[in-house]
């Protein structure tokens, strides 16, 4: 086959691949902050949205619910549909305690191959699982790994879900995570109006890493309140267009909260 013909045949495949994976560039913080603050989770500059991914987990999630109760904080939990049907009681209790339950997908796969029909069916299935257990129609969708392909965008639109990613995370899925490292990593990128990504389970992470997140929560919440920010779920985050005009455009170190000295030598298990 002539080289020119083979190249011509490859062009449609390359274009299809780019169309599929191109939107996933929003995974890069600088891209989503500049192109879509709402997708990044930028909200009211006096509020921080606290979110957790990958649950529910019958062992760890109840520990987070108890800690959040003690702190007087409500959050948004992005749950996986296949875990919802296995542990409906945990999800029901999450909603009963006043937290917002959102959709993280049906499972935690990587979407490298285009599967638009499967994407729609899986996301709809996850949304219906949440609705059946909580009695509330979920509003938000955060894709696994934060990878928004064109198929996932279309699936979210079909399901009536609004995609939202994050402005700061704690790198709390690693085996080396500690309460101090989670706190420092979150606050390095967090400003008022930010959305924080943490995890309430180690399902797709290093075994036991959730202890570091749990141990970091009291100090994180105390720091945010000391900075004059309220803490709550995305439902209270004020993501209307007029709010974004006053939200920080870049949530970098210059906008990080003033923090008390981090304790050294604390156990990863809090």
Q: Is residue 175 helix, strand or coil?
A: coil
The catalytically annotated residue of 87, 99, 104, 199 is: 199
Measured from the Cβ of residue 195, the count of other Cβ atoms closer than 10 Å reads 26
Contacts with 148 (C-beta within 8 Å, 6 or more apart), sequence order = 23, 24, 26, 27, 39, 163, 165
Annotation says 264 is catalytic:
no
Contacts with 72 (C-beta within 8 Å, 6 or more apart), sequence order = none
Tell me the HSE value of 109 on the side-chain side, using a 13 A CA sphere: 15
Annotation says 200 is catalytic:
no
Measured from the Cβ of residue 222, the count of other Cβ atoms closer than 10 Å reads 13
Cα separation, 213 vs 173, whole angstroms: 9
76 closest CA partner among 51, 97, 41? 51
Q: Hey, which residues does 232 pair with through a beta bridge?
A: 49
Cα separation, 173 vs 184, whole angstroms: 15
The catalytically annotated residue of 53, 172, 200, 202 is: 53
202 closest CA partner among 81, 84, 52? 52
Catalytic residue IDs: 53, 199
């Amino acid at each position: 086959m002539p080289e020119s013909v083979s190249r011509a045949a490859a062009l449609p495949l390359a274009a299809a691949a780019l169309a599929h994976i191109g939107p996933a560039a929003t995974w890069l913080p600088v891209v989503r902050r500049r192109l879509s603050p709402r997708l990044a989770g930028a909200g009211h500059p006096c509020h921080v949205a606290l979110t957790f991914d990958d649950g529910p987990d019958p062992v760890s999630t109840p520990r987070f619910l108890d800690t959040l109760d003690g702190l007087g904080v409500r959050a948004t939990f992005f749950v996986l549909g296949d875990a919802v049907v296995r542990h409906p009681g945990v999800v029901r209790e999450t909603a009963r305690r006043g937290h917002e339950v959102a959709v993280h997908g049906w499972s935690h796969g990587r979407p490298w191959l285009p599967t638009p029909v499967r994407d729609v069916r899986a996301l709809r299935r996850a949304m219906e699982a949440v609705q059946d257990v909580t009695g509330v129609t979920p509003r938000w969708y955060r894709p696994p790994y934060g990878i928004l392909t064109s198929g996932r965008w279309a699936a979210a639109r079909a399901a009536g879900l609004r995609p939202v990613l994050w402005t700061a995370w704690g790198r709390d899925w690693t085996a080396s995570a500690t309460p101090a490292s989670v706190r420092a990593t979150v606050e390095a990128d967090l400003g008022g109006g930010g959305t924080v990504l943490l995890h309430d389970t180690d399902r797709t992470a290093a075994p036991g890493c959730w202890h570091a997140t749990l141990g970091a929560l009291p100090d994180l919440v105390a720091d945010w309140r000391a900075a004059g920010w309220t803490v709550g779920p995305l439902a209270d985050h004020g993501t209307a267009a007029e709010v974004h005009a006053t939200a920080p455009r870049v949530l970098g170190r210059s906008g990080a909260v003033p923090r008390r000295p981090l304790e050294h030598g604390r156990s990863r298990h809090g």
